[in-house]
Amino acid sequence: TEKLLRQSEKLALIGELSAGVVHEIKNPLTSIKGFLQLMQAGTIETKDYIAILNSEIDRIEQIANDLLGFAKPKEEMHPLDIAKVIDEVVFLLNAQIKKKDIIIDWQPPISDVYVLGDKSQLKQVMINLIKNGIEASDNADRIEVFLQTNEAYVFIKVKDYGCGIPQEYLNKIGESFFTTKKKGTGLGLMVSHKIINNHKGKIAIESEENKGTTFTIQLPIYKLDS
Ligand code: ADP
Ligand code: MG
C-alpha cells in the first residue's frame, strides 16, 4: 500500500507538472516551427537561423534531461554501493566540464556504504546538484563531493564556492520552475527532492551569498547482512 500511495502521489505530481512542462516546451517548438516555415518559404536565409534553431532544440533537450530520472514509470530499488554511483557521475561530468576549469574533488569513503535505491534516479540527483554547483562557480573553482555517515544514515555533501543563494530565494528553491538562470528550467531541484523523498531521504541546503553552497543528501544506510 505504501508503494501504491507513493506511485499515486507521483502520478498526481506528474499531472501537475505536465501543464508547466508542456508550456515550457511549446515555446521553443513554436519558434522552431515558425523559423522552418520562413525558411521553406525562402523568406529568410537558412544559415543565419541554424544557431537559433539549435538553441531552441537545446532548450527542449535540457527540459527532457532534467526530467529524465523522474519520468521512469517505475523505480527499481536495489542495494547500491553509493560511492560507485558517485564515481560514475563524477567521471561523466568531468568529461563535460572542460570549458570551465573546475575540479570536482571527490573523496570516496574508506569503507563501503550501501543504500537501497534506484541507480539512475540517484545518478540524476547527483548530476543535478553537481551541475548546479558548476553553474554557480567561477572558472577554476573547486567542487567538493564527500560522504559522512552515522549508524543509520549516509550524508552525501556537494559543496561549491560559487555565487551562493540570496536569503530571500532560499525558501523558493525546489519549487517547480523557480530559476534565476537565463537558460534554466527550474526543474532540477524539484525532481531531486522528489527522488530523495521516494528514497526515504532528505535534502538540506546551506548557502551564503558570494561564499558558496552546500547541499546535503541524507539517505538511510542499507545493511547488507540484514
Ligand atoms: P535550474 O538549474 O534550471 O535553474 P534548479 O532546480 O536546478 O533549476 O535550481 C533552481 C535555482 O536554485 C537555480 O536557478 C539557482 O538560483 C538556485 N541554485 C541551485 N543550486 C545552486 C548552487 N549550487 N549555487 C547557487 N544557486 C543555486
Ligand atoms: Mg539545475
Q: Nearest C-alpha to atom 13 of ligand 1 is from which residue?
A: 179
Which of 60, 167, 179 to mutate for ligand 1's pocket (most ligand atoms within 8 Å of CB)? Answer: 179
Q: Say what the pLDDT of residue 69 is.
A: 63
Distance 128 CA to ligand 2 centre (A): 5
| Distance from C-alpha of 119 to C-alpha of 125, rounded to nearest angstrom | 10
- The atom of ligand 1 lying closest to the CA of 178 is 10
Model pTM? 0.83
Distance 84 CA to ligand 2 centre (A): 22
Beta-bridge partners for 158: 145, 215
Q: Say what the pLDDT of residue 208 is.
A: 95
Q: Say what the pLDDT of residue 21 is.
A: 79
Q: Say what the pLDDT of residue 217 is.
A: 98
Which of 17, 132, 181, 195 to mutate for ligand 1's pocket (most ligand atoms within 8 Å of CB)? Answer: 132
| Exposure class string for 185-194: b at 16+ Cβ within 10 A, else e | bbbbbbbbbb
Q: Which ligand is nearest to the CA of 62?
A: 1
- The atom of ligand 1 lying closest to the CA of 189 is 6
Q: Is the beta carbon of 69 within 6 A of some atom in ligand 1?
A: no
Q: Say what the pLDDT of residue 70 is.
A: 64
Distance between alpha carbon 3 and the CA centroid of its chain, in Å? 24
Predicted interface score ipTM higher than 0.85: yes
Q: Say what the pLDDT of residue 22 is.
A: 80
Q: Is the beta carbon of 156 within 6 A of some atom in ligand 1?
A: no
Q: Say what the pLDDT of residue 139 is.
A: 79
The pLDDT profile of the chain, 226 residues, written as one tens digit per residue, is: 666 666 676 666 667 677 677 878 888 899 999 989 988 898 888 887 888 899 899 888 888 877 766 666 667 899 999 999 999 999 989 887 877 789 999 999 999 999 999 998 999 999 999 999 999 998 778 999 999 999 999 999 999 999 999 999 998 887 778 899 988 888 899 889 988 998 999 999 999 999 999 999 999 999 987 5
Strands 153-160 and 114-117: unpaired
> What is 72-127 written as a DSSP string?
-SS---EEEEHHHHHHHHHHHHHHH-TTTT-EEEEE--SS--EEEE-HHHHHHHHH
| Distance from C-alpha of 33 to C-alpha of 72, rounded to nearest angstrom | 29
Q: Is the beta carbon of 212 within 6 A of some atom in ligand 1?
A: no
Q: Is the beta carbon of 160 within 6 A of some atom in ligand 1?
A: yes
Distance 70 CA to ligand 1 centre (A): 18
Q: Which ligand is nearest to the CA of 181?
A: 1
